[in-house]
Amino acid sequence: MKPVLLSATLIATLWTSTAFAQNDTAEPIRIGVLHSLSGTMAISETTLKDAMLMLIEQQNAKGGVLGRKLEPVVVDPASDWPLFAEKARELVAGDKVAAVFGCWTSVSRKSVLPVFRELDSILFYPVQYEGEESERNVFYTGAAPNQQAIPAVEYLMDQGVERWVLAGTDYVYPRTTNKILEQFLKDKGVAPEDIMVNYTPFGQSDWQTIVSDIKAFGGAGKKTAVVSTINGDANVPFYKELANQGITADDIPVVAFSVGEEELAGIDTAPLVGHMAAWNYFQSVDAPANYDFIDAWHAYTGKKDRVTNDPMEAHYIGFNMWVKAVEKAGSTDPDKVIDAMVGIEVPNLSGGTAIMGKDHHITKPVMVGEINEDGQFDIVWESEGEIAGDAWSDYLPESAPLIADWTAPVNCGNFNTLTSTCGGAAPVTN
Instruction: Please answer whether residues 220 and 202 qualify as being in contact, where contact means their C-beta atoms are separated by less than 8 angstroms.
Output: no
Flag whether 165 is in a domain. Answer: yes
Q: 224: domain range?
A: 146-285+369-382
273 and 160 fall within a common domain: yes
Residues 151 and 258 in one domain: yes
Residues 169, 271 within the same domain: yes
CB proximity list for 174: less than 8 A, separation 6 or greater = 130, 168, 199, 229, 230, 231
Number of domains observed in the structure of the chain: 3
CATH for 199: 3.40.50.2300
pLDDT at 427: 41
Produce one character per residue of 294-331: b if its CB has 16 or more CB atoms within 10 Å, e if not.
Answer: beebeebeeeeebbbbbbbbbbbbbbbbbbbbbeebee
The residues, any chain, with a CB within 8 Å of residue 258's CB and separated by 6 or more, are: 44, 128, 228, 229, 230, 231, 232, 235
Residue 90, phi then psi, degrees to nearest 5: -60, -40
**Does 13 score more than 70 pLDDT?**
no
Residue 269: per-residue pLDDT: 86
Exposed e or buried b per residue across 258-268, where buried means at least 16 C-beta atoms within 10 angstroms of its C-beta:
bbbbbbbeebe
Distance in angstroms (rounded) separating the CA atoms of residues 219 and 209:
15
Please check whether residues 131 and 160 belong to one and the same domain. Answer: no
Which amino acid is located at 363 in the chain?
T
Same domain, 232 and 374: yes
What does the angle CA 350 – CA 355 – CA 358 come to, to the nearest 5 degrees?
150
Share of the chain above pLDDT 70, in %: 92
The predicted-structure confidence for 371-396, as pLDDT tens digits, reads as follows 999 889 999 999 999 999 999 999 99
d(CA 407, CA 44): 34
In a domain, residue 22? The reply is no
Assess if residue 57 is contained within a domain. Answer: yes
Per the CB < 8 A criterion, the answer to whether 27 and 69 are in contact is no
According to DSSP, the residues that pair with 354 across neighbouring strands are 346
Q: How confident is the model at residue 23 (pLDDT cuts 50, 70, 90)?
A: low
- The pLDDT, as a whole number, for residue 9 is 38
In this prediction the pTM is: 0.89
Cβ atoms within 10 A of the Cβ of 402, count? 23
Residue 162 burial (C-beta neighbours within 10 Å; 0-12, 13-18, 19+): middle
Same domain as 156, residue 130: no
pLDDT at 370 over 90: yes
Residue 15 has a pLDDT of: 36
> Rounded CA gap, 296 and 54, in Å?
9
In a domain, 304, yes or no: yes
The answer to whether the beta carbons of residues 403 and 392 sit under 8 Å apart is yes
- pLDDT at position 263: 82
Query: Could you report the per-residue pLDDT of 34-71, keeping only the tens digit for each?
Result: 999 999 999 899 999 999 999 999 999 999 999 999 99
DSSP 12-28: HHHHHHHHHHHHHTSPP
Q: Is 21 within a domain?
A: no
Tens-digit pLDDT profile for residues 246-285: 999 999 999 999 889 988 886 788 878 999 999 999 999 9
85: CB partners within 8 A, 6+ apart: 111, 112, 114, 115
Please indicate, yes or no, whether residues 72 and 160 belong to a single structural domain of this protein: no
Q: How far is residue 143's CA from residue 128's CA, in Å, rounded to a whole number?
A: 4
Question: Is 124 inside any structural domain?
Answer: yes
pLDDT number for residue 201? 95
| 16 pLDDT tier (thresholds 50, 70, 90) | very low
6 pLDDT tier (thresholds 50, 70, 90) = very low
How far apart CA 266 and CA 284 sit, in angstroms, is 18
Give me the pLDDT at residue 2, please: 36
CA separation for the pair 51, 57 (Å, rounded): 10
Same domain? For 92 and 161 the reply is: no
Long-range contacts of 403-408 (CB under 8 A, 24+ apart): 403/359, 404/134, 404/358, 404/359, 404/360, 404/361, 405/358, 405/359, 406/134, 406/136, 406/338, 406/342, 406/358, 406/359, 406/360, 407/342, 407/358
348 and 418 both lie in a single domain:
no
In a domain, 393, yes or no: no
**Proportion of the chain above pLDDT 90, given as a percent:** 86
pLDDT at residue 424, rounded to an integer: 52
Please state, in angstroms and rounded to a whole number, the distance separating the CA atoms of residues 343 and 390: 16
Same-domain status, 192 and 255: yes
Q: Return the number of other C-beta atoms located less than 10 Å from residue 219's C-beta.
A: 12
Average pLDDT, the chain: 92
Task: Confirm whether 389 is domain-assigned.
Answer: no
Name the pLDDT band for 343 (thresholds 50, 70, 90): very high
